[in-house]
Amino acid sequence: MSQNTGGPAEFDHAAVPSLGIDVPAQVPTHWYNMNADFPEPLPPALNPATDEPVVPEDLEPLFARSLIAQELSTERYLEIPQPVREVYALWRPSPLRRAVRLERALGTRAKIYYKYEGVSPCGSHKPNSSVPQAYFNKIEGIERLTTETGAGQWGASLAFACALFGMTSQTWQVRTSYEQKPYRHIQMGVYGSQCYSSPSELTESGRRMREQFPDTTGSLGMAISEAVEVAANDPGTHYALGSVLNHVMIHQSVIGLELLDQLSQAGEEQADVVFACAGGGSNAAGIIFPLLGQNLREGSTTRFVAVEPAACPSMTKGEYRYDFGDVAGMTPKLKMYTLGTDFVPPAIHAGGLRYHGMSPMVSHAVHLGLIEPTAVEQDRSFDAGITFARTEGIIPAPESTHAIAGALDYAVSEARDGEVIVIGVSGNGVLDLAAYDGKF
């Protein structure tokens, strides 16, 4: 399927002109699509009214047509528009660093590298998708986007992208995170967008959930229902999702594409094992899928471990089946590992990895045995994050600490001498320091 579902005349590319910025050659020119290389086709999303595979027309009330085309595409590479690459150049390529001090502290003879996404303006990997989502909506005449967010990285990243393209966003943030992390919605306000605690009184679905669950701490499924409702009822507004969907996995592939080149520049033939945190799947897919595609096409032997929180264990405790992406049942049905749309993680859970399901693409890879899932307890993940901070200097985002915990356990118990371990550090924890309080 071509990248755009309509003719070129339907899009106002002049709305976001190229600024003539010099973009480093290391910034990818194309995104990678894992759907081109899966050994078995990805099960399609289903229209909830008919249980038939979705077609582009089903998604047009919510998404830009260019994004719908990417969602359904099986092309291996999709071109990154130049205005998007120019924004990427603010922080891409993100660094790959050798964690020598961490290696010494662990007493391991393995080589540990980490791919660090915390250098983005918002401090996480999320702008890799918020920027193209804002761009494709802008050229199709959309001026406002709605979304949900857990810990706040995605909401802040969408607000950032909208500001760059002269747009605004409205974000519904899971109530417990909204209350625990006020700096995130302040950050969104600085970028010119709005953030609300979810469930809220602003939407019919929010009011219904507050009535049904008056003491709820909120969930991403609830917040999605509110954001989708607003977008579905306003033709000038579209919805944006920070994880789960195929086009988000595609955008995030810039992480792994850069990693392949950086490993080669570091003199490594391949990564032996890659650890990535996983909640909805965007970070894990971003760093894993380009290397997994290389495994399937070229015979490399990299292992992949997706580390989720024990408080929200969709891959390790959930069922692989069709389920709604939201509580109100307004989204298409997705084939994924799921804990059920009514799942609400404990309020004490500090990270943003709190979605009830896992990306269909990541779920499919796990189901096929291409990715190994594991879960870690929160205390263990923060211990690992503190070890990382005290050796490498970076305070990792609570989400990233899960990948670090998995990698550290492996490095001291199983790793061979000289083995190359790569950790995806999806963001920094500067705005999440309260989560560390009492952990040291």
CATH number at residue 273: 3.40.50.1100
**Domain enclosing residue 328, as ranges:** 87-124+247-436
The structural domain count of the chain equals: 1
Q: What does the pLDDT read at residue 350?
A: 64
- Measure the CA–CA gap between 408 and 337, rounded to whole angstroms: 26
Residue 273 lies in a domain: yes
Residue 189 lies in a domain: no
Interstrand relation of 30-32 and 77-79 (parallel, antiparallel or unpaired): antiparallel
In terms of Cα–Cα distance, which of 309, 347, 310, 386 is closest to 180? Answer: 347
Per the CB < 8 A criterion, the answer to whether 292 and 358 are in contact is: no
Residue 407 lies in a domain: yes
Residue 376 lies in a domain: yes
Q: What does the pLDDT read at residue 65?
A: 96
Interstrand relation of 273-277 and 237-239 (parallel, antiparallel or unpaired): unpaired
Q: What does the pLDDT read at residue 150?
A: 86
Residue 178 lies in a domain: no
Contacts 24+ apart (CB under 8 A), 265-268: 266/96, 266/98, 266/113, 268/111, 268/420
Contacts of 212 (CB under 8 A, 6+ apart): none
> H or E element: which one contains 381?
helix 378-392
Q: What is the DSSP string of 44-95?
A: PPB-TTT-SBP-HHHHTTTS-HHHHHHHH---SEEEPPHHHHHHHTTTPSPP
How does 146-176 read in b/e, with b if 16+ C-beta sit within 10 Å?
bbbbbbbbbbbbbbbbbbbbebbbbbbbbbb
Type of residue at 32: Y
Per the CB < 8 A criterion, the answer to whether 86 and 19 are in contact is: yes
Q: What does the pLDDT read at residue 348?
A: 63
Residue 45 lies in a domain: no
Q: Copy the structure tokens of residue 125.
A: 């990997």
Phi-psi region of 228 (alpha: psi -120 to 50; beta: other; left: phi over 0): alpha
Q: What would the pLDDT profile of 25-58 be if each residue is shown by its tens digit?
A: 999 999 999 999 999 999 999 999 999 999 999 9
Q: What does the pLDDT read at residue 151?
A: 83
- Measure the CA–CA gap between 150 and 63, rounded to whole angstroms: 21
- pTM of the predicted protein model: 0.94
Type of residue at 400: S
**Residues of the chain under the 50 pLDDT cut:** 1-9
Residue 401 lies in a domain: yes
Residue 30 lies in a domain: no
